[in-house]
Chain A
Amino acid sequence: MSQLRYEAPGSVDEAVALLASDSDAKVLAGGTDLIVQMRSGLRKLGLVVDVKKIDELMSVSSDGGAWTIGAAVSGAEMNENAALKKDWPGVVEAVDLIGSTQVQGRASAGGNLCNASPAADSVPAMVAAGATAVIAGPNGRREVPVEQVPVSPGKTSLATGEMVVAIKMPAKPARNGEAYLRMIPRTEMDIAIVGAGVSLTLDDGGTCTAAKVALGAVAPTVVIVDDAAKALIGTKVDDAALEKMAAACSAACKPIDDKRGTIEYRTKVAGVMARRAALIALERARSN
C-alpha cells in the first residue's frame, strides 16, 4: 500500500526544505484541486506539505497602496476584504467564481495559479491586473509576473523546492478599471469554456492610455493579447475599438475541442467575453 506523508510546517524555510527533500512533494493550500486529484487517482504523492500553518501565506496586507496576498488566503477572505475588493474588483470576483461557497472557504488564488489549469478563473484576471508571484526556494526569493508560473496544463515553472508564497497586486492606478468574465454552460459550479480578463486605464479626457487583455481556456496557458490591448489604447473605448479588440481576441485563440467546448465556439465567444469584460472595466475606470 502506498504511504503518504503529511507535514504542516510553521515557516516558509521549513516548507522549502521539505519540498526540496522530495521531488514528488506537493504543496497543499486549500486542497480543492490537489485532494480531488489524489482521491480520483490522478496523482500519487509521497509527501504533502500543508502551508496553512504559515502566517505569511495566510495573511493579506497593503503597503503604500500595493497589496500582498498570502498564497493560501481563501477566496472567501479575499472577498470579505472591502479595501482589496474596491481596488481590484475584477481579481476578487474571478477568485470568487472558483467553486461553491464551501469551496470558497478553502480555495486560494495561489493554489489556482499553481494548479496550472488553462481554465483557471483567477489567472487571466491577475494577469490583466499586472499581478506578480513571490516565489521562495532553496536559493532565496524571486518575483515574477504571474503568467510566468504556469507553463502547460498541470505544470509550473517552479523548480524543486520552490513554492509561491504570495501574490502581489500593484498600487491601483488612477482611472483604472478591470474585470473578468467567463462563459460556462451552467450559472455556477462549472469550469470556464472561455475566460477573459481586461484592465484599462483612462486619461482625464477618457482616452485609454494603457490596457491589458488576457484570455483563459483558449490555449495551454493564459494568453496575453497584445493586439487587443493596442486596439483599445488611444481610443475612447468606443464600439469600433471594442469590435477590433474582440476580433483580436478571437484571432489569438488556439483552443482545443474537448468535452467542454469546441474550437469554433471558444474562438467566437472569447471576443464576446473580452468585449463584455472591457465594458465593465471601462465603467469602473470612469468611476475611479
Chain B
Amino acid sequence: MAVEADAPRMEFDVVGHRRVRPDGVDKVTGRARFGADISAPGMLTAKILRSPHAHARINSIDTSKAEAMVGVHAVVTSADFPDEHVPRGERDTLVNVMAREKAFYDGHAVAAVAAMDAETAQDALELIVVDYEVLPHVTDVVAAMAPDAPVLHDTLFTRGVDPKPDKPSNVAKRVEMGRGDVEAGFAEADIVIERTFRTEATHQGYIEPHACLANIGADGRGEIWVCTQGHYMIRNTVAALLGIELSKLRVTASEIGGGFGGKTTVFAEPVAAALSRKAGLPVKLVMDRTEVFRATGPTSSTAAWVKIGVKNDGTITAGDIELKYQGGAFRGSPIDFGCMSAFACYDIDNIRMVGWDVVCNRPKQAAYRAPGAPMSTFVVESVVQELAERIGMDPVDMRLKNAARNGSDSAYGPKFGTIGLVETLEAAKAHANYTAPLGANQGRGIACGFWFNFGGETCTSLNVQTDGTVALMVGTPDIGGSRASMCMMAAEELGIEYERVHAIVGDTTSLGYNDTTEGSRVTFSSGMATIKSARAAIEVMRARAAMIWEIPVDAVVWEKGHAKPAGPNAGDFEPMSLADIAAKSGATGGPIAGHAEVNADGAGVSFATHLVDVEVDPETGAVKVLRYTVAQDAGKAIHPGYVVGQFQGGAAQGIGWALNEEYVYDDMGRLQNAGFLDYRVPVASDLPNIDTVIVEVPNTGHPYGVRGVGETSIVPPLAAIANAVSAAAGVRLTDLPMSPPKVLAAIDAQKD
C-alpha cells in the first residue's frame, strides 16, 4: 500500500461524520480536571501582589513583615528571578512575570506569597511595602508614538528605520512590505477612498482563569500541572527562566476552559515554580478574573490609515495601508501578521503595507485567534465595501473580480496553492440570507477574511492494545475537540470503529517536543502525525500477519481493519482483524505500536466570507444582530460538528469585539472594567443563530485535505458588522467597538 498518498483522500468511513466527543461525559459530570482541580499533600496557596500604577519606578520592596507572618512559607520578588542566565529572547517574559526596576502597567506583578491558605496569603500581601515613584504613563497607541510621550524602556530603539534613531522611544519597529507602484495604481483608479480607523484591545475571554500547581523539589526536579495551550512551551519557558534542565521538569496539561491564543505564554507558572522551589512545598496559583483582565491577554489596540483605488469595472488598482499596533508594555504586537493579511484576500498589482509595533502602559499582549488579522481586515474590508457601493457593484461580485485564486501571488509573497476564497464568496451569495428582505433601520454587511494556518513540530504515539482497542497519545492540548478528530483519523486509517480509539494528551516526558496548540495547527499537524502513527502500526501488523502466515510482508495488504493476502498467489488465508493480530502480539514479537514525529509543512491557508444583517435603534444607537452566516473553507471537515463550532465561536467573539468589548482606562492609566460585568462579551441573548456553510477545497498538503479552521472565523466579523451597521445607520462607522454611545453620536453628527 502507498504510505503517502499523492492527492488527498476523498472517500471516508469515519471522517466527515459527527461522533460523540470523548471529553463530553467528563465535562458535563464535573469529572474533568481543569487547572485548579489538582491538589498535592502539603500544598500552599499563592497570591500575587500587583502594581496599582500604570507606570512607576520600584525604589524598594520590603517583604519582611509578610515573611514573618505565621503560615507564610515563601515570598518572592524580582530578586528571586535572576536574569544573568536567561536567554535574550525570554528577558521580556521574565520582566512581565515579575516587575524589576519598573512596573509597566496596572496589574503588573511585583511580588508573590505562598502561604498555608488563601486568606493568609492575601493578608500577607497587604504587609508587603512597595516604595513606588509614580511616572507619567501612556495607554493610547497614537499618543505613545508622540515625540514627547513618556518612554517605557530606555533600551528600546526603533528597528527598521533609517537612520537608526539615537534616542529610545515607544516604537519598537517599523515594517514595510508590498509590491508594484501604489501611486501609479491610484492614478489608474476611477475612485479612491482614504480613511482612518481605530480598534480597541479585546481579551480572549476564556472562561477558565489561569491556574497551575507547581512542585519543585530540593533536588531540582519538578512537576507542573497547568491549564495551557502548550505544556512544552510552559516547560521550556519555566526551565529557561529558573535555570532548570528540560528533562528535570515534567509538565502536564489539564483540561482547558478556553484559550483562543491567550494561553500560549506564561504568566503565573514561573511564579508558582519559584515559590515552590523556595518553600520546598507544592504551590497552587489560581488567578481571579480581575487578575486575568489586568495582567494577561489581550490583543492589540490599533490605529490605521488606508487608501484603496478602484476602476469603475470593479478592478482594485492599488491598496496602501499603515497600521499602528500597541502590544502592551513589551515589543511584539502582531503587526507583521496585520500587514501580511491586510490585502491577502485580493490579487492586487500595487500594494504597500507599513506597520508600527508600539509599546505602552498596558498588559503585554498575547496571541488572540488569528493575531493581528482582524484589525487590518476591518480596515481593508470596510473600504472595499464602500468602494463597491460607490461604483454601484454588488459587493460579492466586486470581491470575486479581485479575489485571490489558485496560483495567485499572495499579498505577502508566496504563491497560493489550491485555495477556496472564491467558493466561500459563491456560497455566501447563494445563501438565502443574502437576499432576505431588510426592514427599516436594518443593514447588511459582508466581508472576507484570511488566515495563514501553521504546521509545526508534532509527535504522537499509538498503541494497539491486546483487546483490539487503540490508545493514542498526542502532545497538543485539546482546546477545540482535537481528541475526537485524532481518534477519527486513527480509526479511519486503521479501518476500525471510532469507539475503539481513545486519545489522551501526554505529558512532556512521554512524547518528543510538541509545538503549542496555536495557529490552527492541531487537526492538520497532529492529525498528520496520527495518520503516520497509524500507518506505522499497520506496517507492524502486516509484518505480524506475514510472520503467522509465513509469507513475505509484501504479500500482505491492510484493508478495512484487516490484514489480507495481497492476492491468490500470496496464499489462501482468512483475513486477520486488528483485534486478532493484537491478541497474538505477545507471541509474535511483543507490543504493537506506531510513532511519528513530524515538522509539518503544507498547512493550507484558509479563507472565509461572512454575511450579517443588523438593526440599529436610531434613538439609542443599540445594535441588534439579526442574521449571521459564515462560509469558510475547511479543506476537509474531520468532525463537522466541531468545525461548525469553530465557525460560530469566531463569529461570536467577533460580534463582541465589533460591538461592545473594550478596555476602559481612567486618567491614571488604571483599568476600569476588569470583569465580565463591564467588559461586555456577548451573552447568549445577544446572538442570533449563526448559520454556517462548510466549504471543502482540499488542502493538497494533508493526506485528508485538512486545513486549520480555528482562527479564520474571527477575521471577517469586525468588517462585516461595521459594514452592516454603517448601512443601517446611514453613516460610516470606523471606530470599534460600535457601542451604543458611539453609534448614536455618529448618527447625530450626520444629522447636524
Residues of A within 8 A of B (CB): 1, 40, 183, 185-191, 193, 258-262, 264-265, 268-269, 272
Cβ contacts B602-623/A at 8 Å (1 or 0 each):
0000000000000000011110
Query: Are A1 and B677 in touch, CB under 8 angstroms?
Result: no
Cβ contacts B281-314/A at 8 Å (1 or 0 each):
0000000001000000000000000000000000
A262 to B744, CA, bound (A): 12
Residue among A187, A189, A259 making CB contact with B673, cutoff 8 Å:
A259
A78 to B596, CA, bound (A): 63
Query: CB-CB < 8 A to A190: which residues of B?
Result: 677, 680
Residue among B659, B664, B748 making CB contact with A259, cutoff 8 Å:
B664
Query: Are A269 and B620 in touch, CB under 8 angstroms?
Result: yes
Cβ distance A38 to chain B, nearest Cβ, rounded Å: 13
Given A1-B120, A259-B672, A265-B740, is A188 in contact with B677 using a C-beta cutoff of 8 Å? Answer: no
Query: CB-CB < 8 A to B740: which residues of A?
Result: 183, 185, 193, 265, 269
A117 to B411, CA, bound (A): 53
Residue among A186, A189, A272 making CB contact with B620, cutoff 8 Å:
A272
Query: Are A260 and B678 in touch, CB under 8 angstroms?
Result: yes
Query: Are B123 and A1 in touch, CB under 8 angstroms?
Result: yes
Query: CB-CB < 8 A to B433: which residues of A?
Result: none
A189 to B676, CA, bound (A): 9
Query: Are A191 and B677 in touch, CB under 8 angstroms?
Result: yes
5 further contact pairs, Cβ within 8 A, besides A259-B673, A264-B745: A187-B685, A259-B664, A265-B621, A265-B741, A265-B745
Cβ distance B118 to chain A, nearest Cβ, rounded Å: 11
Query: CB-CB < 8 A to B677: which residues of A?
Result: 189-191
Query: Are A185 and B622 in touch, CB under 8 angstroms?
Result: yes
28 pairs across A/B with beta carbons < 8 Å? A1-B123, A183-B622, A185-B622, A185-B740, A186-B660, A186-B682, A186-B686, A187-B685, A187-B686, A188-B683, A188-B685, A189-B683, A190-B677, A190-B680, A191-B678, A258-B672, A259-B664, A259-B672, A259-B678, A264-B741, A265-B621, A265-B740, A265-B741, A265-B744, A265-B745, A268-B748, A269-B619, A269-B740
The answer to whether the Cβ of B119 comes within 8 Å of any Cβ in the partner chain is yes
Nearest CB to that of B681 among chain A residues? A186
Cβ distance A196 to chain B, nearest Cβ, rounded Å: 12
Residues of B in contact with A, size category: 20 to 34
Cβ distance B694 to chain A, nearest Cβ, rounded Å: 29
Cβ distance B285 to chain A, nearest Cβ, rounded Å: 18
Query: CB-CB < 8 A to B664: which residues of A?
Result: 259
- Give the top 3 A-B pairs by smallest Cβ distance, nearest first: A265-B741, A187-B685, A259-B672
Nearest CB to that of A276 among chain B residues? B619
Residue among A40, A186, A268 making CB contact with B680, cutoff 8 Å:
A186
Query: CB-CB < 8 A to B622: which residues of A?
Result: 183, 185
Query: Are A183 and B683 in touch, CB under 8 angstroms?
Result: no
The answer to whether the Cβ of B585 comes within 8 Å of any Cβ in the partner chain is no
Query: Are B741 and A272 in touch, CB under 8 angstroms?
Result: no
The answer to whether the Cβ of B236 comes within 8 Å of any Cβ in the partner chain is no
Query: CB-CB < 8 A to B685: which residues of A?
Result: 186-188
A258 to B678, CA, bound (A): 11
Cβ distance A139 to chain B, nearest Cβ, rounded Å: 38
Cβ distance B528 to chain A, nearest Cβ, rounded Å: 42
Nearest CB to that of A272 among chain B residues? B619
Query: CB-CB < 8 A to A183: which residues of B?
Result: 620, 622, 740
Cβ distance B47 to chain A, nearest Cβ, rounded Å: 12
Query: CB-CB < 8 A to A193: which residues of B?
Result: 740
The answer to whether the Cβ of B402 comes within 8 Å of any Cβ in the partner chain is no
A188 to B683, CA, bound (A): 7
Cβ distance B662 to chain A, nearest Cβ, rounded Å: 9
Query: CB-CB < 8 A to A40: which residues of B?
Result: 290
Query: Are A186 and B683 in touch, CB under 8 angstroms?
Result: yes
The answer to whether the Cβ of B418 comes within 8 Å of any Cβ in the partner chain is no
Cβ distance B70 to chain A, nearest Cβ, rounded Å: 10
Cβ distance A119 to chain B, nearest Cβ, rounded Å: 11
Query: CB-CB < 8 A to B620: which residues of A?
Result: 183, 269, 272
Query: CB-CB < 8 A to A188: which residues of B?
Result: 683, 685
The answer to whether the Cβ of B463 comes within 8 Å of any Cβ in the partner chain is no
Query: CB-CB < 8 A to A187: which residues of B?
Result: 683, 685-686
A201 to B686, CA, bound (A): 35
The answer to whether the Cβ of B93 comes within 8 Å of any Cβ in the partner chain is no
Given A268-B744, A272-B619, A272-B620, is A185 in contact with B739 using a C-beta cutoff of 8 Å? Answer: yes
Cβ contacts B672-713/A at 8 Å (1 or 0 each):
110001101011011000000000000000000000000000
Query: CB-CB < 8 A to B741: which residues of A?
Result: 261-262, 264-265
Query: CB-CB < 8 A to B123: which residues of A?
Result: 1
Query: CB-CB < 8 A to A259: which residues of B?
Result: 664, 672-673, 678
A190 to B740, CA, bound (A): 14
